[in-house]
Structure 1
């Protein structure tokens, strides 16, 4: 069936004719020509003799391309080439188009100096092309004598006014006819009421091919399965779109994934429906009325589930929770991802994937986790390939190599010289022996020590409005979402008020972090390190780092302070070529090793490596830059203004429509 198979016109055209005849409903009113073709089970005509072909070549002044010439030797013309060309030219009708359609004038008006050769060829082919459509549904088909391959085949160009697309190109006449045969199959694959079921040797062969591809995909051979599914999809076979879309979605390919309405089936809705809904939710201007566009035939229970999912996804509370051992692993993975351990979460999912079972024969892989706000950001194209290459669903196969971790060890990634993987300025607090959920009690205003309110799984759902005590963790969100929400409802801004919006998580064994990737201006005169407050508990250490070495605004600087048991142990601030220090700094962190007089802070990376080695800490790059984390607002990192110190307060009046 593939285009690389040596082409034999006689059996191909006979099969096409017989399948066409069998697909016609009984009692349908047909033209005299169609009824004759149905009875004869032949869509063609008598073959053209060599003399007749030679005569038309003399009339045209060119030898015909090989595949069209061979076609005429079997049938001198053709009826119903696909769904929209009702009669294809034989020797009597074929002629030079000479812009009979007027398309050359239309397309040439659109050309300009930036038009590429392909666009120019598509515009001018209508002047030189050999027309082979005789009767069609506003469709034009020509052979191009100037677009010729090494075998002498002329390319075919077709264009229809109702297609809103550039002309479609085929490598030759045989390729065009193969595609028209596939189009015929695609149009018959879903028979309407009263039409016979479209089953024949071709459909049975394709369905068997598709089933083998499904089994191969579950064994991990998605690369072998996808071409077979794509071929079946070209013939319009049911199930092919759904199976292929699952693979393409996990590969991260662009496009609209509709799963061929299988998501509307209650069996598959728990896993496929969330993917459709989350893509709808990602477009804020889509109307809710279009939610069910790709859910044809869905019952009210599935539609209600989709609407409920949409609301959960918009407020960030949707959770993917499949049943069985794999579902238990998903729960563990969510907890790891919740506090920033994306690599650990991914390994948890992959280790349990062989235990996953499909919901039915049209299910190839778990997909619902892509809609989960914590698990979805874990996907990369490399990880998608790893998942698809892992045997699952009761199948056995060779396990793939593990995909590379997304989070480097330590802290040095913050000093990425290109600025692609990290912020240009940042600050963070590391606290030992404290869970991330307890950080607001140490770093925010309000009563410390209380457990934040949350949902049944312990995932806090409250959020600070920027003016409250800030002692509640907001639900997981991206850094952009968190910063946007932090300004919502806030009506007063002070030059002395520097409450950091921080994301929280685990920073390695026994450590938690609170990270701000967009800090305010650093003023060494008014800065108050939160390390002392963070280390209030007995035996607790806290580390504070604030760097603006690459911010491009003001003097480069780097601050480090360390506290234990509620007291500062040591600290230093490097700025403008000078270092101010207090306490006994360990040799490994001595700023003299990294910043000399008049230095520019270029050894920031080495210093960050020393900090991570000294305390055994790390920060999760992927979670901080691409994922979702809990957030809260700390108390101010600057002291209140002293006597005689001026400061600015900007107030927004009313609903934010003015300033005072």
Structure 2
């Protein structure tokens, strides 16, 4: 038996009619027809006998689809189909539209020559559709006989000029009427002043499903919960959207997620505002639109939202829930700030059973999504793992763990990135030191004369303490290169923010030196790293490896790879220092290998650059050999998608020698030197 024949039209229409009658205020003034419908508790009309349906079909020249025929046999027309169609046609009023509105011709004017079937249907339905709206609020309802399924059911299209959208399709007349019943519920669920509470068997049944869905979500059954919540949302049930949006946001569905009425509840604002404003900060151009997502909020909450938005934008927002879960969040943040994203995620995930909701409509921790360090840890796969984990005292099976985002070792650097930008890179590995100590080994310091003073690797490196988001001080996010004025780290920044900050306000560019802007973190084992994914061109004549300075009292490794460089010939450099002195090194450039020291067999350059050959094919084997030799890795996700502290190093090139020239370029033509063309060639004096 088909679903259409199994559908109980009379019970469905009777329930709708009774819900409509009970939702009307006692003193509401109704027309004679509506007053009669209220008293009869019936929105329909008398049923149409078979002969009347057959006569209509003869008049129209087509047999009607089954769902519409069955409806007519129960009610020959319908009042208040949703909120905007006041009378729906029965056997007497249904007629072919034949573009009486002129909308078909209007749609055709904007039709592209290469328009597909869907766009062309939007034109043709006005010419071939059967019009079912009799009286409405500028809303058309048409059945399309040419858009039929295997059961002969015609699709129903609705369109309203004020909706600013293409015609909305419903699979058949039955689904159209069910949607109109849901629309009636959505509109009536917004209780107005003086109106009776909108409560009936349908709302009570749906609210019970919402409560069960809430508990099911906390048990880890988010898929079943979301299906139930989405059904309740279609009927406008309170909290169904806010609960469902929490699930959708953790699945990565950030568009059109605003947590509806829950975000304006002070109990939940601290958890729901951060992900909401983070999405706004990433995509919105006008902050006035933020209030649209805060409908019904008082001025205090709106001010709180804008304050949180400012924190998210400048990188100072810090997710800090209470209790044992909050302690785990702090540990996770400390791991994430040094690039240990996978371990940070495991810390959050393992603490989930300790998480406590802020109220009955809180399904999962959400505030961390807006945290500049923790937010980048979220992926749809991790969101599903979080949602599948029982929490808030509910029992259930633990989900399978998602794979780590960071591949082991270094070989991922040989893979093309999404934008194809990473064709050259360099990094420093230092053994047995924490990342916060790297400025003392790599960063430039300014002497009294303002020129670069040699770094003192033997000084107390721990005084180079990085600034954390939210702590204030000179190393605030957005001003990354204040670290360059001394041996300090910036606040955690994305690669784009760090690069943009390094150029902000800078007017002079010189080939005299090569001070690298590098992200820092932990590199597995006992190693720390500094990484530059956008280095200056390699100058083999003046290059000075930072390995000896970085390796004072320990071991340091420097790698600079340009085997896929777009401009110039491929090159590769490796140098290793121990106790402040170079142990071994080799450089491949111009088809030749220059080497020094006793190079381990696993890293011997002839294995990779035999007979002077070399290029992109040597990159992966080299990186695999380096990872095996030193047991180090670089965190791909943090480097590419996350935030890391940065430092500006001392120059990787020596000063120009006697008679060697260099170029300086100024970007401000109003303050040129030696003329007005904005550039000058310098030469070291004899």
Whether these two folds match at TM > 0.5 is yes
- Kindly indicate whether the alpha-carbon contact (under 8 Å) linking 1:461 and 1:473 is maintained by their aligned counterparts in 2: no
In the TM superposition, what is the alpha-carbon distance from 1:457 to its structure 2 partner?
Answer: 9.1
- Structure 2 residue corresponding to 1:550, chosen from 545, 564, 584: 564
- Kindly indicate whether the alpha-carbon contact (under 8 Å) linking 2:483 and 2:489 is maintained by their aligned counterparts in 1: no
- Kindly indicate whether the alpha-carbon contact (under 8 Å) linking 1:464 and 1:633 is maintained by their aligned counterparts in 2: no
Q: Secondary structure at the match of 1:291?
A: helix
Q: Distance in 1 between matches of 2:427 and 2:468?
A: 27
Q: Are 2:591 and 1:592 aligned?
A: no
Q: Secondary structure at the match of 2:291?
A: coil
1:530-566 deviation digits (Å, cap 9, x = unpaired): 0011012x2x100000000012211111100001111
In the TM superposition, what is the alpha-carbon distance from 1:590 to its structure 2 partner?
Answer: 0.8
Structure 1 spans left out of the alignment, 5+ residues: none
Residue 489 of structure 1 corresponds to which residue in structure 2? 505
Q: 1:16 to 1:83 in 2, by over 3 A?
A: same
Q: Are 2:638 and 1:623 aligned?
A: yes
In the TM superposition, what is the alpha-carbon distance from 1:6 to its structure 2 partner?
Answer: 3.1
Residue 382 of structure 2 corresponds to which residue in structure 1? 383
Q: Are 2:339 and 1:326 aligned?
A: no
After superposition, residues 44-83 of structure 1 pair within 5 angstroms as 44-83=44-83
Q: Are 2:197 and 1:202 aligned?
A: no
In the TM superposition, what is the alpha-carbon distance from 1:388 to its structure 2 partner?
Answer: 0.9
Residue 567 of structure 1 corresponds to which residue in structure 2? 581
In the TM superposition, what is the alpha-carbon distance from 1:300 to its structure 2 partner?
Answer: 4.2
- Kindly indicate whether the alpha-carbon contact (under 8 Å) linking 2:491 and 2:645 is maintained by their aligned counterparts in 1: yes
Q: Secondary structure at the match of 1:293?
A: helix
After superposition, residues 186-585 of structure 1 pair within 5 angstroms as 186-283=186-283, 285-287=285-287, 289-416=288-415, 423-446=422-445, 448=456, 449=461, 450-452=463-465, 454=467, 462=475, 463-465=479-481, 468-536=484-552, 538=553, 540-585=554-599
- Kindly indicate whether the alpha-carbon contact (under 8 Å) linking 1:464 and 1:470 is maintained by their aligned counterparts in 2: no
- Kindly indicate whether the alpha-carbon contact (under 8 Å) linking 2:514 and 2:651 is maintained by their aligned counterparts in 1: yes
- Kindly indicate whether the alpha-carbon contact (under 8 Å) linking 1:421 and 1:621 is maintained by their aligned counterparts in 2: no
Q: 1:5 to 1:529 in 2, by over 3 A?
A: farther
Q: 1:655 to 1:409 in 2, by over 3 A?
A: farther
Residue 644 of structure 1 corresponds to which residue in structure 2? 659
Q: Distance in 2 between matches of 1:467 and 1:365?
A: 37
- Kindly indicate whether the alpha-carbon contact (under 8 Å) linking 2:483 and 2:490 is maintained by their aligned counterparts in 1: no
Q: Distance in 2 between matches of 1:182 and 1:419?
A: 44
Q: Secondary structure at the match of 1:59?
A: helix
Q: Secondary structure at the match of 1:648?
A: strand
In the TM superposition, what is the alpha-carbon distance from 1:435 to its structure 2 partner?
Answer: 1.1
How many residues get paired?
655
Q: Are 2:107 and 1:107 aligned?
A: yes
After superposition, residues 33-52 of structure 1 pair within 5 angstroms as 33-52=33-52
Q: 1:444 to 1:180 in 2, by over 3 A?
A: same
Q: 1:630 to 1:165 in 2, by over 3 A?
A: same
1:315-358 deviation digits (Å, cap 9, x = unpaired): 11111111111111110000000000000000000000111111
Residue 10 of structure 2 corresponds to which residue in structure 1? 10
In the TM superposition, what is the alpha-carbon distance from 1:292 to its structure 2 partner?
Answer: 2.8
Q: 1:576 to 1:6 in 2, by over 3 A?
A: farther
Q: Distance in 2 between matches of 1:551 and 1:575?
A: 12
Q: Secondary structure at the match of 1:292?
A: helix
Q: 1:120 to 1:90 in 2, by over 3 A?
A: same
- Kindly indicate whether the alpha-carbon contact (under 8 Å) linking 1:504 and 1:514 is maintained by their aligned counterparts in 2: yes
After superposition, residues 90-105 of structure 1 pair within 5 angstroms as 90-105=90-105
Q: Distance in 1 between matches of 2:525 and 2:322?
A: 31
Structure 2 spans left out of the alignment, 5+ residues: 446-454, 680-686
Q: Distance in 2 between matches of 1:590 and 1:174?
A: 75
Moved more, 395-404 or 4-13: 4-13
In the TM superposition, what is the alpha-carbon distance from 1:190 to its structure 2 partner?
Answer: 1.2
Q: Secondary structure at the match of 1:83?
A: coil
In the TM superposition, what is the alpha-carbon distance from 1:51 to its structure 2 partner?
Answer: 1.5
Q: Distance in 2 between matches of 1:612 and 1:582?
A: 21
In the TM superposition, what is the alpha-carbon distance from 1:584 to its structure 2 partner?
Answer: 0.8
Q: Distance in 2 between matches of 1:75 and 1:53?
A: 11
Q: Secondary structure at the match of 1:268?
A: helix
1:378-415 deviation digits (Å, cap 9, x = unpaired): 11111111111111111111111110111011111111
- Kindly indicate whether the alpha-carbon contact (under 8 Å) linking 1:455 and 1:461 is maintained by their aligned counterparts in 2: no
- Kindly indicate whether the alpha-carbon contact (under 8 Å) linking 2:468 and 2:491 is maintained by their aligned counterparts in 1: no
Q: Secondary structure at the match of 1:650?
A: strand
Q: Distance in 2 between matches of 1:656 and 1:253?
A: 49
Q: Distance in 2 between matches of 1:19 and 1:102?
A: 37
1:133-178 deviation digits (Å, cap 9, x = unpaired): 1000001111111111111111111111111111111111111100
Q: 1:588 to 1:621 in 2, by over 3 A?
A: same
1:68-100 deviation digits (Å, cap 9, x = unpaired): 111111111100000000000111111111111
In the TM superposition, what is the alpha-carbon distance from 1:470 to its structure 2 partner?
Answer: 4.5
Q: Distance in 2 between matches of 1:461 and 1:354?
A: 38
